[in-house]
Structure 1
Amino acid sequence: MKSRTMAGRSALLLVMMTTLLTGCGGVFDPQGPVAKDQYFLIALSFGIMLVVMIVVFALFFYALVRFRKRRGQTGYPEQVEGSHKLEVIWTVIPFIIVMILGIITVGYTFKADRQTNIEGNLQVKVIAHQFWWEFIYSDLDVRTAQDLVVPENTWVTVELESSDVLHSFWIPQLAGKMDTNPGMTNRMSFKSDVAGKIFKGKCAELCGASHALMDFKVVTTTADEFDAWLAKMKTPVAVTAATEAGSQVFTNKCLACHAVTVDNASAGPNLAGFANRDKVAGYRDNTEAYLREWILDPEEMKPGAGMPKVPLTDQELDDLVVYLQSLK
């Protein structure tokens, strides 16, 4: 009976650990120098803790065997209390371990701070909203949302702010998380070693009903592809005969909250380049079906998003979807 109970507890512990580790998947596949430094710290800490655990368990089982009750033994064994030498050892060793971890961690922290203050980094202001992300390329006069496009092998410095509540900016495969606080600015830097990848970003601070859906993407490109993306973003999409009706619907129903040019601020996400984005509402695939669902009932897809349900006829909805899918 006891063996079955222990087996059940072990299985439960394994399931719990597996569940916890699935939330950290990207951390164990670093794709940039900052993430690799942080992964090294994780591995170093884990390695030291594993050695300590092995030593403690070895001493524990040694004591169980060495000082077990012997056959024929009566009464209490000799009682030994206190050892100045052992007390010094198990006080000094943990102190040394903590000091080693502290010194190394502080060193990497200052290394990250030095990189943040280097001139020539690509500067991006990140503004967190419930429940979406705004990206402003400060030196390039480009404003977009949800997809952060960056060139490979280029240091990116982000200035993190919040328009409402406390959020936290996190790209597991590129850098650790940092809070975005209302009324103050935090700064951090990261770099991707590869082009042609899409990295998932998350809000890592509970911020409301749709916190779990507050995702964004980091899209890495070559330098030439990044320049081409900038040029395309700065070129307004021409309205054609096929999209003219949808453009009019957008002007009448959506323009009060959304911009479609990169040089204009807006209350809601900027929709320039919307058709090229990977997701709708930050987490659904950018397909016509999900786009329709999002427009018809935003609160159903993303509770607390704040986007009102706009009354549209079937024809207006069709025209609007065609127009939005032309914003490339």
Structure 2
Amino acid sequence: MKEWMGKIRNLSLFTLMLLLLSACGKDNLTALVPKGYGAEESLRVIIITITVMIVVFVVVMAIFVYVLMKFRQKKGQENMIPKQTEGNKTLEIVWTVIPILLLIIIAVPTIAVTYNLADETEKEDSININVTGKQFWWHFEYPEEEIQTSQDLYIPVGQKVYLNMLSSDVIHSFWVPALSGKMDVNPDNENTMFIEAYEEGVYWGKCAEFCGDSHSLMDFKIVVVSQEEYDQWVADMQNVDPEFVPESTTAQEGKALFEDSCLSCHAVGNTPSVGPNLSNFGDRTMIAGVLEHSEEELVEWILDPASKKPGNGMLDAPYLQDDSVSEEDAEKIAEYLLQLKASEINPDSAE
């Protein structure tokens, strides 16, 4: 009895720990508070599955307790062999049919939701965004709007947005739990999913497929805004001026250093790039998806990206190989990058 009580106590503590840990982490990084159509449908399937599991658990435990009490060995029956039910066709049919029925109860809504979330009938009339997974960041291309950006995905509230996903290296998995379920991002075949957010806000996403050293740091955000804000953001991004010259001398020197040491991989403006597009870097709230958006963190990232995200592609940057960028240079580059705000670095903003 003491042994059983100890196991029950440990199980209770473990359950409590899971509940406490489930409340930790970034805001909106939960599938239990849906803020989008896909997440809402997924939660419905989760509730059905959990309900079936609870019913099965309760029934099994009730039968277990009943059998344990009714057929326990009594005094004077030490050598008695109870009646055997081996070969009872009725019982065998019952415990075969019941699991099949339970699986059908779970499978029907699961398949229905899966096909529903794979529906592409409205794709041509909706916003389409090409998503590319890389180690360890995300690139977003708006082909119709001719916009290139990274890490922060902007979408309007209340609209279906179709994501066409590919990987440039290994298999990744695109997951924004508050808005929708997971979707594999493969190197060879394109997968498509749609998201539809119900509320404005910032929703955190992660890579849900182990993809290398910094898999757990492959974070990104979906920024859901009103239609008016989205239209303004699109206009600002379309008019980003790659030749933008900052006012301060230090930032101007940083721009020159950036063009000399970083422009071979990164881009400012709506052109493809090997590394993350930095057109609206100053508008973002995180560096590399996980670091505080400050000049100090940015300088450290430029000088030693391996300490922040082991295994990332920036480790092969030429300036890191020949030590051509000093700490002073990194500070100048950081000052320049923090001034790259889409609403401020286009010709229209000066009028």
TM-score (norm. length: structure 1): 0.93
The residue type equivalent to 1:92 in the other structure is: V
Instruction: Give the distance between the partners of 1:61 and 1:207, measured in 2 at CA.
Output: 46
* Cα contact 2:299–2:327 (8 A) shared by 1: no
Q: How does 1:41-52 map to 2 (within 5 A)?
A: 41-52=45-56
CA shift, 1:236, in A, is 2.6
* Cα contact 2:172–2:210 (8 A) shared by 1: yes
Match of 2:273 in 1: 266
Asked if 1:276 corresponds to 2:283, the answer is yes
Asked if 1:300 corresponds to 2:307, the answer is yes
Distance 1:25 1:325, change over 3 A: closer
CA shift, 1:214, in A, is 0.6
* Unmatched 5+ stretches in structure 1: none
Aligned residues: 326
CA root-mean-square deviation: 2.1
The residue type equivalent to 1:39 in the other structure is: L
* Cα contact 2:29–2:176 (8 A) shared by 1: no
CA shift, 1:95, in A, is 0.8
Instruction: Give the distance between the partners of 1:7 and 1:67, measured in 2 at CA.
Output: 24
* Cα contact 2:29–2:205 (8 A) shared by 1: no
Secondary structure of 2:41's counterpart equals helix
Instruction: Give the distance between the partners of 2:183 and 2:21, measured in 1 at CA.
Output: 20
The structure 2 residue matched to 1:235, chosen from 235, 239, 252, is 239
The structure 2 residue matched to 1:144, chosen from 134, 146, 149, is 149
The structure 1 residue matched to 2:334, chosen from 317, 321, 327, is 321
The structure 2 residue matched to 1:111, chosen from 106, 110, 116, is 116
The residue type equivalent to 1:2 in the other structure is: E
The residue type equivalent to 1:150 in the other structure is: I
Q: How does 1:95-174 map to 2 (within 5 A)?
A: 95-115=100-120, 117-174=122-179
- The C-alpha deviation readout for 1:69-119, integer Å capped at 9, x for no partner, is 223435214322233222211211111111122122111122112246533
Distance 1:61 1:198, change over 3 A: same
The residue type equivalent to 1:125 in the other structure is: N
The residue type equivalent to 1:69 in the other structure is: Q
Identity of aligned residues (%): 37
Q: How does 1:24-63 map to 2 (within 5 A)?
A: 26-63=30-67
* Cα contact 2:207–2:216 (8 A) shared by 1: yes
The residue type equivalent to 2:211 in the other structure is: C
* Cα contact 2:29–2:204 (8 A) shared by 1: no
Q: How does 1:249-260 map to 2 (within 5 A)?
A: 249-260=257-268
* Cα contact 1:145–1:269 (8 A) shared by 2: yes
* Cα contact 1:34–1:175 (8 A) shared by 2: yes
Asked if 1:2 corresponds to 2:3, the answer is yes
CA shift, 1:8, in A, is 5.5
Distance 1:49 1:7, change over 3 A: closer
CA shift, 1:14, in A, is 2.6
Secondary structure of 2:80's counterpart equals coil
Instruction: Give the distance between the partners of 1:112 and 1:2, measured in 2 at CA.
Output: 48
* Cα contact 2:246–2:336 (8 A) shared by 1: no
Distance 1:179 1:282, change over 3 A: same
Instruction: Give the distance between the partners of 1:218 and 1:122, measured in 2 at CA.
Output: 14
Asked if 1:214 corresponds to 2:243, the answer is no
CA shift, 1:124, in A, is 0.4
CA shift, 1:5, in A, is 3.6
The residue type equivalent to 1:323 in the other structure is: Y
* Cα contact 1:277–1:286 (8 A) shared by 2: yes
The residue type equivalent to 1:318 in the other structure is: E
The structure 2 residue matched to 1:185, chosen from 164, 186, 190, is 190
Secondary structure of 1:175's counterpart equals coil
- The C-alpha deviation readout for 1:248-269, integer Å capped at 9, x for no partner, is 11111111111110x2111110
The residue type equivalent to 1:49 in the other structure is: M
Distance 1:20 1:185, change over 3 A: farther
